[in-house]
Structure 1
Amino acid sequence: MAQFTPYDESVEVLGAAVSSFMNGISPNFKNKILEILSHNGINNPQVDVWYSQKAWLQSFLEISNEVGGSTLFAIGKAILDSAVFPPNVNDLKSGMASIDIAYQMNHRGGEIGYYKLVEFDELARTAKMECKNPYPCDFDRGIITSVVRRFKPFDSIHTLVELESTDKSRKYGAEESVYIIKW
């Protein structure tokens, strides 16, 4: 399944996720993003209201076309920057595994896909995350990057999150994308 196309048109996304979306936008683009959201039927997003995932994904597509993938990456990072994690999420492995829990909690009404930690090697400081969902790859990379930065060991200076193979990703019509993570 390609990016920007919901698996099920009845799926809804919680307004808290839509609102935190705005945290990733520079003030210069905020009005433009609100205009795009409104154009797709999401007016003045409220944290406790459910919105059509299809409308939200259409907004992502317009943002991608008008402002680019870097903005989608920033939005992905911002969503997790404002997230509250359960007390048992206190290291990188549990933080990465919690991405899917948060994803499932912020959607309802049908099939939405998943985020799955498929490899984690603490000694080599590498991991792989499989993402099968309708969101853009740049957005997912932002989410994963934010979690890695938040929960990496204190002695890790650099982080890297990149697509395993750009020709076998949702960007190019594949069912899922796999990210290589290093810290």
Structure 2
Amino acid sequence: MQFVPFEEGIEVKGQAVKAVVDGFSNFAVLGSAYLLDEGIGTPNAKGQAHLDLEGWYSQRSWLLCFQQIGKQLGDGLLTQIGMAIPRSVQLPEGIRDIYSALKAVDVAYHLNHRKNGRPMFDLETGRMVEGIGHYGYEPVPGQRKIISLCETPYPCAFDHGVLTAMAQRYESSARVVHDETKPCRKWRGDRCTYVITW
């Protein structure tokens, strides 16, 4: 299901939160207003949200921001915000192709969230903390195809954008399709399935 945190007290890094403003592109002021409406950031002299990129913000508030954007402006904008994520967030090292890029999405996801004051992925130990779900990674042997089973509290359209941006960064012809034969979080399912081909 979308927009509902799996656990209370989870926080999101400011770099990721900034993707809302980036996703609005030329209408960043509007994106900023959605953040401020949910208590994210502080208004600057122009009334726009000032975000501490190294700071941490409530995941619950960020999800409420997504919910309002989706309700008022639609899935297209949520997809655009998702596509801004890979440009904004900390990514693990060693990404060299579409396979390593899509495998790294789950690590990056956990790196940019924290629980009890600690990032949910430790780069030194490789330890991942549960509490926010996962971006799956299943390459199909002998085919240029990867299946990603996403079980996160984020909107389906947002995750579609994240996967598209990561895939197209390394394979410009990559296409991400939501598998309509499977459950969808938009319709109260607990996960969505995306098929990435190139």
Report the TM-score when normalising by structure 2.
0.83
Q: Which has the higher contact order (CA 8 A, sep 6+)?
A: 1
- 98, 116, 124: which is aligned to 2:143? 124
- Please give the per-residue CA displacement for 1:3-51, whole angstroms capped at 9, x wherever unaligned: 01101121111111111332221213x2222111111110222111111
Residues 1:38 and 2:58 are matched in the alignment: no
Ranges in structure 1 where 5+ consecutive residues have no aligned partner? none
Aligned to 1:168, the other structure's residue is in SS state coil
Equivalent pair of 1:93/1:120 in contact (CA under 8 Å): no
Compared with structure 1, are the counterparts of its residues 74 and 166 closer, same or farther at alpha carbon in structure 2 (3 Å cutoff)? farther
User: In structure 2, how many angstroms separate the alpha carbons of the residues matched to 1:24 and 1:12?
Assistant: 20
User: In structure 1, how many angstroms separate the alpha carbons of the residues matched to 2:39 and 2:19?
Assistant: 17
Report the TM-score when normalising by structure 1.
0.89
Higher mean alpha-carbon deviation, 48-57 vs 105-114, is at 105-114
User: In structure 2, how many angstroms separate the alpha carbons of the residues matched to 1:46 and 1:130?
Assistant: 31
Q: Which amino acid aligns with 1:178?
A: T
Number of residue-to-residue matches in the alignment: 176
Compared with structure 1, are the counterparts of its residues 85 and 111 closer, same or farther at alpha carbon in structure 2 (3 Å cutoff)? closer
Q: Which amino acid aligns with 1:180?
A: V
Equivalent pair of 2:12/2:56 in contact (CA under 8 Å): yes
Deviation at 1:65, TM superposition (A): 1.1
**Structure-to-structure mapping, 1:37-56, within 5 angstroms:** 37-43=35-41, 44-56=50-62
Q: Give aligned-pair identity as a percent.
A: 34
Compared with structure 1, are the counterparts of its residues 99 and 66 closer, same or farther at alpha carbon in structure 2 (3 Å cutoff)? same
**Match in the other structure for 1:113:** 133
Ranges in structure 2 where 5+ consecutive residues have no aligned partner? 42-49, 116-129
- Please give the per-residue CA displacement for 1:92-137, whole angstroms capped at 9, x wherever unaligned: 111100000000011112711111102334x421110011100001
User: In structure 1, how many angstroms separate the alpha carbons of the residues matched to 2:93 and 2:132?
Assistant: 26
- Please give the per-residue CA displacement for 1:68-92, whole angstroms capped at 9, x wherever unaligned: 1111101111111344544421011
Instruction: Quote the RMSD (CA, aligned, Å).
Output: 1.7
